[in-house]
Structure 1
């Protein structure tokens, strides 16, 4: 629902008079997501008439929705000193209270904002509802309740209908949201955002082709309405993600529409940052690095730019720039660091410590892994991003490092990669020890591997390969009873699937491994059993030298 916080500012239309016309131009610019233009208009109004409470309040809202809290407070407090509509600024202060989770203070400010309302006024109710929705801690029920009061006073108020549609949408009440948006557009057919939101609902329901048709209907009404192109871009992006066969075409459509959206905004630093966010989504890191460098040239003090530059530089192979940029971002006071920041920092450090032949310096790896663990602490599901990196290490036979990466995913059952990461974690531990001499094997790591496959069998009982790996692991640990138990379990599970399954060459090869393993485990305690299993091997593979030689030795 961040889009409502960023884009659906309180666009309540004022009454007549020259000042009202000016402030409505500002609100139109806000709706078009031309925030720099809106700020310029609002500041000119305030300069001409410092006592204009509504202009101060709306300007405070723009800053608040751009997370420039100090500036928002300045204009709200200025608004309280105004002679005209100073009550509105209590609503802005109320949203700050909601952001701070001080509901009682927020309600006190909302009471001050509404105490002198006339019976037919509804604008304050709409603004308060927006505050509830736009808060860092959104309360859609309270927003809905207060908007119902507004609609009792003015049932055809298009802005109230749009706002209650947003409240229903935020509460995942799609049916009532659809009706409210439809009614809002019926009440005011110039309110393009209401019609656009009908397409947003279709996008959320993954009806991407229908959503695109709906957005094109908005374009037919006004081809210069910028926000609809942003919605189109997001729709094409989601369609590409959900249907990979369309990815190439739809990602290009996404980029084209986002560029169109940008051309219709004011190319402010804020809009460029939203563009950067979108480039991360579509993984266009070349363009992202270009955009980030241009933003640094425009504004050298906004540390968020260094996040973008760091991400892009890593993806483009510029690890030194990536490390410095992300560290500069993390060190900057007041920045809200997210898991992905440490994720990229950790990967960049590991990549920097990787030699041309693919070997990884352990100190560099450990430093990078420490950052990756910080990423997981901040954002547990960031583990879903690690799979490809872990597999790359595994493919290079860097099993210890691969195990350290896969352990993170194997520790989070909520991850979509949980089972896959668990399997790779277990086999990384196994292969990391399989080629070592007995005295060099890590018994603790092998014990962890065995336990991992037990967990896998609890979650996915049909994963029969787990019994093979458990048998192999216990073979490295010289635990004959567990070797026999797990190989027999594997044979029984596969045999239960029928002769056709057993006859498959790959399965027969694994049966030979199992029979030889069981035979070897019995060799020191039950020669007859050992010979029995070696003979089973020879039924499947008459030329198997290990079984033949073992039988001779046992006799």
Structure 2
């Protein structure tokens, strides 16, 4: 979960000794992630004192955090005309340039801020570094470069150390992040977020028990500090996913802590969306539906709500509702569509295309669904990891054609964590989709794909015995009798190498192998055929096929 952007943004408003006291309540609200409260306070300050450029800067950054760029730009531009701290607003506009991939424009704005800095000035450098961290494509190394200049100017500045901790954390440098956070808290023990971040580092190291202990130390200092409960929620979520036996217990705690976080921050639309994103991770779709409908009441025009309505509708069995919401959302290219949106839309289309027992009732809709799956993968190849679950559900329904199409899309990404098992399911689905058909109705191209899929499994995992027997069966359907025979033999070799117990468990498959191999040799090598049938009879003396075949071979 990408929490660093939330955390680093909140610290834009942390205390600098030179700042005006009238900003303190707003900065504390931002640090506590009470963004709506902070917006109200900052707007009041601006109304009462239009010359306060820093208030405009902080307010603009809240809007950037909430993805409301138009409003952010308005406040940054207003801030440039202020008589106090106006230049800070160049930093906000510079971050917007970074978001637009206009790095030269961003650098020019940052240069305007730094050209007249006094030797000990660090505040502006910290804000510039955070702009690099908060950009849509964070540049943590650049942030570290800027912060090292600030550290050189004032090595005892707690804010510099705190920002360095975030930059090192984003750059996946746990050791230096720990040192920076520790130094920040030791320098200023009111920086409770620095202490909390020490727990975040433990979370990242999967030391969940120690992370929870660290968070509890923060709660002992300030039980009303909302962000620590979000971290607790995310830690328990990760804990449950990494230790499946504890999943139910940890997810229950995670959801409870996230509710606590919401109660201590705000119930704005933006906060509800963050909550909805967490509910998706936690797979609490009943709660997601409630939250989504509440968001719709608050703001019926925000398009992102359609995502939450679509996901929850699908998971709660309302396929028509899911189709409508997700089609409406993805049909507008201006919406911030993610691969998961297409994946859910594809699932809804599949549900409409097949019956519960796996019969295809709308081939056109099924083809359309597969096109949508491919869109998801093109947008983010990592979505292939999620296709395994979709394909398996179809496979279990015996919708083998549809399952094969999903698995074929999944294996188009060789780096998928499920690449091996998806190949096995792909081969099986294609095999079963053709095994009951007459020879002239079998899809030979599909069966050749199955052969390749089983070959991929064997290459990656040579001891996966079932890949050999299904490859043999596939080649039998393809009437490639020599390959069939070879793969049956390889199957038996792999099983035999595992010992007598494994051979005993697979007697019926050995009979299958011997009989099919014998049938292949019956016309070209009768002695070999008899030898193989005798091996069948040694296992199953009453096997009718072997007995009848031996009579014909005499």
**TM-score of Structure 1 vs Structure 2, range by shorter chain:** over 0.9
Query: Hey, what does 2:13 align to over in structure 1?
Result: 11
Secondary structure of 2:3 counterpart: helix
Aligned pairs (5 A) from 1:328-407: 328-332=328-332, 334-355=334-355, 357-361=357-361, 362-407=363-408
More deviation, 213-222/536-545: 536-545
> What corresponds to 1:157 in structure 2?
157
Partner of 2:142: 142
The answer to whether the Cα contact below 8 Å between 2:373 and 2:409 also exists between their aligned partners in 1 is: no
Check 1:252–1:67 CA distance in 2 against 1; reply closer, same or farther (3 A cut).
same
Moved over 3 A (4+): 14-17, 353-358, 496-501
1:84 aligned residue? 84
Q: Could you say which residue in structure 1 is the equivalent of 2:540? A: 541
Does residue 271 of structure 1 match 2:271? Answer: yes
Counterparts of 2:494 and 2:18 in 1: how far apart (Å)? 80
Q: 1:401 to 1:449 in 2, by over 3 A?
A: same
| Aligned counterparts, 1:91-490, within 5 A | 91-332=91-332, 334-355=334-355, 357-361=357-361, 362-490=363-491
The 3 A distance-change label for structure 1 pair 357 and 438 is closer
In the TM superposition, residue 14 of structure 1 has moved relative to its aligned partner by: 4.5
Deviations 1:127-169 (A, max 9, x none): 1111111112222122112212222222221111100111111
Structure 1: how far apart are the matches of 2:406 and 2:14?
51
Q: Which residue of 2 aligns with 1:524?
A: 523
Deviation of 1:101 after TM superposition, in Å, equals: 2.3
More displaced 10-residue stretch of structure 1: 311-320 or 483-492: 483-492
Q: Structure 1 pair 462/82, CA: closer, same or farther in 2 (3 Å)?
A: same
Correspondence 1:22 to 2:22: yes
Q: Name the residue aligned to 2:63.
A: 63
> C-alpha distance in 2, partners of 1:16/1:507?
78
Gapped runs of 5+ residues in structure 1? none
Give 3-state SS (helix, strand or coil) of 1:386's partner.
Answer: helix
1:425 and 1:357, CA in 2 relative to 1: closer, same or farther beyond 3 A?
closer
Contact 1:350–1:360 (CA under 8 A) maintained in structure 2:
no
Shift of residue 125, structure 1, vs aligned partner: 0.8
* Partner Cα separation in structure 2 for residue 477 and residue 155 of structure 1: 73
Alignment RMSD = 1.6
Are 1:513 and 2:512 an aligned pair?
A: yes
Cα-to-partner distance string for 1:415-444 (whole Å, 9 max, x where unaligned): 111111101110111111111111211111
Q: CA deviation at 1:500?
A: 4.2
What's the CA shift string for 1:396-425, capped at 9, x where partnerless? 322211111111222222111111110111
Where 2:527 maps in the other structure, the secondary structure is helix
Q: Distance in 1 between matches of 2:275 and 2:247?
A: 19
Measured in 2, the distance between the counterparts of 1:209 and 1:108 equals: 46
Per the alignment, in what secondary structure is the counterpart of residue 55 of structure 1?
Answer: helix
The answer (yes or no) to whether the contact 1:164–1:180 under 8 Å persists in 2 is yes
TM-score normalised by L of structure 2: 0.96
| Distance in 1 of aligned mates of 2:500 and 2:327 | 60
Change (3 A) 1:203 1:86: same
Report if the CA contact (8 A) 1:314-1:344 is conserved: yes
CA distance in 2, matches of 1:471, 1:355: 31
Instruction: Please state how far the C-alpha of 1:16 moved relative to its aligned partner.
Output: 6.2
Q: Do the aligned residues in 2 keep the contact of 1:427 with 1:449 (CA within 8 Å)?
A: yes
Q: Which deviates further from its counterpart, 509-518 or 460-469?
A: 460-469
Distance 1:22 1:368 in 2: 56
Aligned to 1:34: 34
Q: CA deviation at 1:112?
A: 0.4
1:102 CA drift (Å): 2.4
Which runs of 5 or more structure 2 residues have no equivalent in the other structure?
none
Is 1:552 the counterpart of 2:551 in the alignment? yes
SS in 1 for 2:93: helix
Q: Which whole-Å CA distance do the structure 1 matches of 2:48 and 2:17 have between them?
A: 19
Number of equivalent positions: 551
Summarize the Cα distance change of 1:16–1:448 in structure 2 as closer, same or farther, 3 Å threshold.
closer
Counterpart-to-counterpart distance in 1, 2:390 and 2:140: 40
Q: In 2, Cα distance between the equivalents of 1:262 and 1:401? A: 41
